[in-house]
Amino acid sequence: MLTLYSFPTPNGRKASILLEELGLTYAVHRVDLAAGENKRPDFLAISPITKIPALVEVLPGGRVRRLFGSGAILLHFAERTGRLLPEDEDERAEAMSWFMLGVSDLGPTAIDMQRFAARAPDRIPHAIDLYKGELMRCYSALEDRLGAAEHLGGTTYSIADIACFPFIAAAAVAGGGLLDRFPHLKRWHDAMAERPAVRRGMAVPDMAVPDTAAPG
Ligand SMILES: N[C@@H](CCC(=O)N[C@@H](CS)C(=O)NCC(=O)O)C(=O)O
């Protein structure tokens, strides 16, 4: 029995895209970040950093396993199922590199950019310029890679693609013409957005209400 703890954010959507791609059955518990539900002691026991996504699995015999952070969730299930990571060692190394870029560069930079550009009480031009520049580095790297390969890992669709897609999708709808400026990123984004599991996974956090099961 799997329960995903999530909220409609790019990191939240990564985990549900993964679970949908793997066809796993799971329940979804909405942790309302706006209401501070992530700071409650019951959630702290699942996610020590009090961030979503997190996941709880009740194993046979009643033992409980937790996973917190989109990176850990994606990697754990890719390894466990033997899916969504290339078999070829070179391609796997490439996929791992882009997976980490999604988790440790693209995601945190996009979140910090949002914090300084849209939510900071004072406008700090240096911080905004810094994060804008860092985001451009991520987009340019992705653009170059996707000009050379179909998927981030190479020929195989993988957790590297899942780790990056929700942040690119969010930037695409935020305006600014991101996808007009990066044609290879647009080709990849549009192909990802067409995948049925990606569509379902992107929508899951929006549909989840406390203690309800996800469809499928
Ligand atoms: N390293 C984590 C970061 C997760 C993260 O930043 N989650 C955000 C939502 S996208 C969150 O829960 N924020 C609540 C908070 O900062 O209090 C991951 O990759 O999942």
- The domains located in the chain, with CATH, are 2-82+198-213 (3.40.30.10), 89-195 (1.20.1050.10)
Q: How many angstroms separate the CA atoms of 169 and 156, rounded?
A: 20
Q: Read off the pLDDT band of 207 (50, 70, 90).
A: confident
Kindly report the protein residue whose alpha carbon is nearest to atom 12 of ligand 1.
51
**How much is the average pLDDT of 148-167?**
98
pLDDT tier at 12, thresholds 50, 70, 90: very high
Q: Which residue's CA lies nearest to atom 17 of ligand 1? A: 51
Report whether residue 156 contacts ligand 1, using a CB cutoff of 6 Å: no
Task: Give the residue-averaged pLDDT of 160-177.
Answer: 94
Burial class (CB in 10 A: 0-12, 13-18, 19+), 207: middle
Only one residue has tokens 């860092």, namely 134
Cβ atoms < 10 Å from Cβ of 105 = 17
The residue nearest atom 13 of ligand 1, judged by CA position, is 51
pLDDT in tens, 46-97: 999 999 999 999 999 999 999 999 999 999 999 999 999 999 999 999 999 9
Cβ of 69 closer than 6 Å to ligand 1, yes or no, is yes
- CA-based radius of gyration for the chain: 17
CA of 52 to the centre of ligand 1 (A): 5
pLDDT at 210 (0 to 100): 63
Which residue's alpha carbon is nearest to atom 3 within ligand 1? 69
Lowest mean pLDDT among 23-27, 34-38, 98-102, 120-124: 120-124
Please give the Cα distance from 142 to 169 (Å, whole number).
13
Whether residue 215 is predicted with pLDDT greater than 50 in this model: the reply is: no
> Is any atom of ligand 1 closer than 6 Å to the C-beta of 70?
yes
210 vs 28, which has greater pLDDT? 28
Find residue 6's DSSP bridge partners.
30
> Residue 204, Cα to own-chain centre: how many angstroms?
13
Euclidean distance between the first and final Cα of the chain, in Å?
Answer: 14
pLDDT of residue 118: 86
- pLDDT category, 209, cuts 50, 70, 90? low
- Flag whether pLDDT at 216 surpasses 80: no
Nearest atom, ligand 1, residue 52 CA: 12
Q: Tokens for 152?
A: 């981030």
Take residue 67 and report the two structure tokens written for it. 């996973």
Atom of ligand 1 nearest to the CA of 53: 20
